Amino acid sequence: MNRETLRMQAVQSPIIPVVGELIRQHPGTISLGQGVVSYPPPPQAKSAVLSFFDNPDNHKYKSVRGIPELLDLIETKVISENQINMTDDRCIVVTAGGNMAFMNAVLAIASPGDEIIIQSPYYFNHEMAIAIAGCRAVIVETDENYQLRPEAIAAAITHRTRAVVTISPNNPTGAVYSEYALRSVNKLCRDRGIYHITDEAYEYFIYDGAHHFSAGSIPGSGEHTISLFSLSKAYGFASWRIGYMVLPKHLLDSVKKIQDTILICPPAISQFAACGALTAGFAYCRDRIDRIAEVRHLVLDLLEPIRDLCTIPDAKGAFYFLLKVHTDLNAMELVEKLIREYRVAAIPGTTFGIESSCYLRVAYGALERETAAEGIGRLTRGLRGIIAVS
């Protein structure tokens, strides 16, 4: 068995396809699993795709960084919405989704054996990417409300640490980190000479007065902050695979090498669609996210009667609730029982690095009110029925 095989054996298997297969085996199951929205991209994206075919040159390779039209739209967006000052020490790279942006960042800043600090519960694809790169994920626990603990992050830094990763709004917890905490982490990274990788894929999904803060907007942060974004969520763009990163210019050559090797360039037709989406802008997303907010409140109301069975966090972002279920069953066993016996699916907390107790991630972004009511009803009945006999 060769070294590469041993390395990949250390990488966990993606859980979404596993749960997806269980759902397919049990028709009629309502999925509270994968994090997507139900609505499609804006009509401007479709128009832009049609225009793609007008020029035969569009079928040739494009710039590794992205087409100029899209780079310009992204720059305007991050300046106006994220207050990121695009100074000479920064640049933008378009990627094939947010996950590729994270992979680019890890490969550009770290060597095998180096350490990347992530928060627990973590986003499983981040932990997987770190392992694939031959690096070590150092896991720092968040507090009881899933908020950052800057003092614990500081204590975890060693001479091998290359970056601290934050995700806000958070997957899987739905937590929104405070501006104060993000500023504290960003300053810590600057003072220790390491990078702050800030994943903001869910930037628009905030509720109940929460505020999204981009650490890249901090004056003087350009040299050590890598900001990651995605169109997948807010623009209903998941399969088009378009994300982007705002990164220190001194990393550009490394990122271009990585991206040219893996991808050559982001798919040009998807970049055209992204131009249309960003032309429509947040105005397209606002009403749809407001409807998701209504579903969120419905889900909270429907979960209220089972607070004796599980801890329900105050999650003001993304479209997830991470439930701590009061049972001795392991999370995957509970997920399988819920699918088989109650036709409702959630994601087990073990995939997010939670081994000590039973957690379920419940996603509501893709649900209409009626489906949400039925799905959460099945979940609550299932938890009562399963825990009663366990």
Tell me the pLDDT tens digit for each residue of 10-48. Answer: 888 888 888 989 999 999 999 998 889 999 999 999 999
Asked if pLDDT for residue 289 goes beyond 80, the answer is yes
Query: Which residues, in sequence order, are bridge partners of residue 360?
Result: 323, 348
Helix (H) or strand (E) holding 262: helix 252-262
Helix (H) or strand (E) holding 120: strand 115-120
Q: With the CA atoms of 137, 223, 72 and 214 taken in that order, what torsion angle do they form, in degrees rounded to the nearest 10?
A: 60
pLDDT at 13: 83
pLDDT at 139: 97
- 355 band by pLDDT with thresholds 50, 70 and 90: confident
Which pair of structure tokens corresponds to residue 93? 């790279």
Placement of tokens 């079928």 in the chain: 59
> Contact at 8 Å (CB) between 251 and 65?
no
Question: What is the third-level CATH fold of 3-40+283-389?
Answer: Aspartate Aminotransferase, domain 1 (3.90.1150)
Collapse the DSSP code of 271 into the 3-class scheme (helix H, G, I; strand E, B; otherwise coil) and give the result: helix
Asked if pLDDT for residue 219 goes beyond 60, the answer is yes
Asked if pLDDT for residue 149 goes beyond 90, the answer is yes
Q: What percentage of residues in the chain have a pLDDT greater than 70? A: 98
Cβ-proximal residues to 205 (8 Å cutoff; 6+ apart), any chain: 169, 233, 234, 289, 292, 317, 318, 319, 365
pLDDT at 72: 98
CATH of domain 43-280: 3.40.640.10
Mean pLDDT for the stretch of residues 243-254? 98
Integer Cα distance of 345 and 363 in angstroms: 10
Task: Let me know if the fold of 3-40+283-389 is the same as that of 43-280.
Answer: no
Pairing of strands 90-95, 243-248: antiparallel
The average confidence (pLDDT) of the chain is: 95
Helices (H), 63-162: 68-81, 98-109, 124-132, 150-156
pLDDT at 314: 82
Q: Could you state, in order of their start, the residue ranges of all structural domains in the chain?
A: 3-40+283-389, 43-280
Say what the pTM is.
Answer: 0.95
- Specify the amino acid at residue 217: S
**pLDDT tens figures, 53-110:** 999 999 999 999 999 999 999 999 999 999 999 999 999 999 999 999 999 999 999 9
Integer Cα distance of 158 and 82 in angstroms: 31
Integer Cα distance of 357 and 330 in angstroms: 7
Neighbours of 173 (CB within 10 A): 28
Mean pLDDT for the stretch of residues 261-267? 96
pLDDT at 250: 98
Within 236-343, strands assigned E span 243-248, 310-311, 320-325
- 390 band by pLDDT with thresholds 50, 70 and 90: low
Asked if pLDDT for residue 2 goes beyond 70, the answer is no
Asked if pLDDT for residue 356 goes beyond 90, the answer is no
pLDDT at 4: 57
